[in-house]
Amino acid sequence: MKVYLARFEKNNKVSYKIGHTKFFYSIKRFADEQYKVFDNITIVEDINVQHASAITARLMAQLVEECLHGVFPKNFRLESHFVTEENLFDGLSGITEMFILEDNQTEDDVKRIFLNVKKNIERLLK
């Protein structure tokens, strides 16, 4: 399982999403046509969560994801932020985990926190 930090771009605006996926290459999570609504999607970083039991690996990935949501909660409405027509993103899988940077935050700040979690998770899983 992977826990990922993804960047979404549309209309020269950016948002981020933390989630988990079964795919080894996290970007495959967004291969579905529904994500074509964005101009670009990039995986900034991901955390590999492994366990002999697939169920345990999924639960561990969900735990890591939920902890990161506590640090980076959803803080905007997609249509307002990306300046699109109302309800454009209705039904889009995973939109509840998206967030935008606070005024004093940079992508490097978010990445640094994510990488710190990654380092600690990798140390715990060894």
pLDDT tens figures, 4-53: 999 999 999 999 999 999 999 999 999 999 999 999 999 999 999 999 99
- The SS3 of residue 14 is strand
What is the residue range of 63's domain? 2-125
> Is 70's pLDDT higher than 90?
yes
Q: Supply the pLDDT for residue 114.
A: 96
- Interatomic CA distance for residues 22 and 84, integer angstroms: 31
Q: Supply the pLDDT for residue 38.
A: 96
Q: 37 near 51, Cβ under 8 Å? A: no
Rounded mean pLDDT, 73-78: 88
Rounded mean pLDDT, 65-76: 92
Please state, for a pLDDT cut of 90, what percent of the chain lies above it.
78
Per the structure, the count of domains in the chain is 1
- Interatomic CA distance for residues 55 and 60, integer angstroms: 9
Phi, psi of 57 (to 5 degrees): -60, -45
Q: Which of 11, 9, 7 is nearest to 19 (CA)?
A: 7
Residues paired with residue 116 on neighbouring β-strands, in sequence order: none
Rounded mean pLDDT, 109-121: 95
- Interatomic CA distance for residues 31 and 34, integer angstroms: 8
> Is 96's pLDDT higher than 80?
no
Q: 94 near 78, Cβ under 8 Å? A: no
Rounded mean pLDDT, 107-114: 96
- Interatomic CA distance for residues 97 and 17, integer angstroms: 5
Rounded mean pLDDT, 65-88: 91
